[in-house]
Amino acid sequence: MAVPDKGVHGPLAGVRVVELAGIGPGPFAAMLLADLGADVVRVDRPGGGGLAINPEYDVTNRNKRSVIVDLKAADGADRVLDLVDRADVLIEGYRPGVAERLGVGPGACHARNPKLVYGRMTGWGQEGPLAQRAGHDIAYIAITGTLGMIGNPGEPPTVPANLVGDYAGGSLYLVVGILAALHHAREHGTGQVVDAAIVDGTAHLTSMIHGMLAAGGWQDRRGANLLDGGCPFYGNYETADGGYMAVGALEQQFYDEFSALLGLADEAPARKDLARWGELREAVAARFKARTREEWTAVFEGSDACVAPVLSLTEAPGHPHLAARGTFVDHGGITQPAPAPRFSATPTDIRGGPAQPGADTEDVARDWNVPALMSTPTKEDD
């Protein structure tokens, strides 16, 4: 393992990661490792192929470095394997079998570096009837039952952007797997393959719900439960100006404060009477519609009523609490979330903006002692 460079922050300083360029959960996982201090080298393909935005704004490539390798060229695989020789981790997000066909599958990589942690990020997993099928976040979370939980009854399920599948069920589980496998490699000297499938991770996220379902404490339909909008004191309510307030007054002491500040103390006993939940919801909605979001924010400020304004993406960085914590930062003219979580002994930071394709080839070739990166790739004859 490489010796951490002075000035490089984060608990993963000294860990070397090769990221085979892709989109979605793979780059986000690699960004998280980079935020934690790892030296992440993204292997971009000639001509790009990432998000349909200017690479200068692709925040998921921050804190990384980029080289360009044509894996379909005669010496493309060897170039990547030269990096693998010196790496602790590799991340790829191809369909099953593609990395093997390109010459950079687990077998080829472990033959060069037995300690390598080989992270595989897919939607369906490496095997199963759907393994070779194309897909996106919405389909992965659909078959796990997760998408069907979200939204109002009688309406189509609400699409939660790509946060639940790609990032929560995908990227974060890949990172957990990589860190666990890194620990094993350090202890035992052997690497392994981490098969992170979005369907597996997303299903795992519903563990508590499945327990409640088995115990009879959860109904298998939308908008009928404590945490899915069915409960009148756990949901979102429109205000007079078209804004929204989020209410999460689940426990009795929080609910008592909520109902008092809302001016509904007389209706408070309806909390425990499920038959009156509809009546209670109408009363709460009517009260919130009487004032603006700003006015209600002032009413609940400093209380334990568990009520907060629903802010937009552009409003969130200006919230006093988030501003005080530095939850969002400006770097390179882009407002973006700061690295998370936080560490007392090995603080993290944003060391560089989004890696530009191929811009770091010379530096990586020097720092990783891979001079072959500097040579010009030669295409195989068709």
Supply 286's token pair: 């009517």
The residue count for the chain = 382
Taking the C-alpha atoms of residue 82 and residue 77, their distance in angstroms, rounded to an integer, is 9
- Please determine, for residue 63, whether its predicted confidence score (pLDDT) is greater than 70: yes
> Would strands 244-248 and 307-309 be described as parallel, antiparallel, or unpaired?
antiparallel
Cα of first residue to Cα of last residue in the chain, in angstroms, is 39
What pTM was computed for the model?
0.93
Beta bridge partners of 375: none
pLDDT at 62: 97
User: 108, exposed or middle or buried, with CB in 10 Å at 0-12, 13-18, 19+?
Assistant: middle
Specify whether 321 is catalytic.
Answer: no
- Please determine, for residue 267, whether its predicted confidence score (pLDDT) is greater than 80: no
E-assigned strand segments in 265-333: 307-309, 328-331
The per-residue DSSP string of 9-49 comes to -STTTT-EEEEE--STHHHHHHHHHHHTT-EEEEEEPTT--
Beta bridge partners of 248: 234
For a pLDDT cut of 90, what percent of the chain falls above it? 88
CA angle in degrees (0–180, nearest 5) for 327-330-336: 55
What is the per-residue pLDDT across 13-42, written as a single tens digit (0 to 9) for each? 999 999 999 999 999 999 999 999 999 999
Within 13 Å and on the Cβ side, how many CA atoms surround 54?
4
What is the per-residue pLDDT across 130-151, written as a single tens digit (0 to 9) for each? 999 999 999 999 999 999 999 9
Q: Measure Cα distances from 75 to 251, 365, 380 in Å.
A: 62, 16, 9
pLDDT at 212: 96
- Please determine, for residue 1, whether its predicted confidence score (pLDDT) is greater than 50: no
Residue 284: in which H helix or E strand, if any? helix 277-288
Supply 107's token pair: 């077998």
Residue with tokens 């790609």: 166
Supply 148's token pair: 């069907």
CB atoms within 10 A of CB 116: 24
Domain boundaries, the chain: 16-205+344-374, 234-318
Within 13 Å and on the Cβ side, how many CA atoms surround 230?
18
What is the per-residue pLDDT across 328-376, written as a single tens digit (0 to 9) for each? 999 999 999 999 999 999 999 999 999 999 999 999 999 999 988 876 5
Mean local confidence (pLDDT), 99-125: 98
Mean local confidence (pLDDT), 226-243: 96
Residues near 36 by beta carbon (within 8 Å), at least 6 away in sequence: 10, 11, 12, 339, 348
CB atoms within 10 A of CB 25: 31
Class of domain 16-205+344-374: alpha beta
CB atoms within 10 A of CB 380: 10
pLDDT at 22: 94
pLDDT at 235: 96
Number of H helices, E strands in the chain: 13, 11
Supply 153's token pair: 């009854």
For a pLDDT cut of 70, what percent of the chain falls above it? 95
Taking the C-alpha atoms of residue 40 and residue 30, their distance in angstroms, rounded to an integer, is 7
* Residue 274: pLDDT band with limits 50, 70, 90: confident
Q: Which of 76-80, 323-327, 369-373 has the lowest mean pLDDT?
A: 369-373
Q: Say which of 166, 200, 228, 360 is annotated catalytic.
A: 166
Taking the C-alpha atoms of residue 138 and residue 117, their distance in angstroms, rounded to an integer, is 28
**Which CATH code fits 234-318?**
3.30.1540.10
Residue with tokens 């990783």: 368
Specify whether 183 is catalytic.
Answer: no
Mean pLDDT rounded to a whole number for the chain: 93
Phi/psi of residue 161, each to 5°? Answer: 50, -140
pLDDT at 47: 82
Q: Say which of 136, 183, 188, 210 is annotated catalytic.
A: 136
Closest CA to 2 of 367, 364, 270: 367
- Please determine, for residue 218, whether its predicted confidence score (pLDDT) is greater than 60: yes
Mean local confidence (pLDDT), 73-81: 96
User: 69, exposed or middle or buried, with CB in 10 Å at 0-12, 13-18, 19+?
Assistant: buried
pLDDT at 375: 67
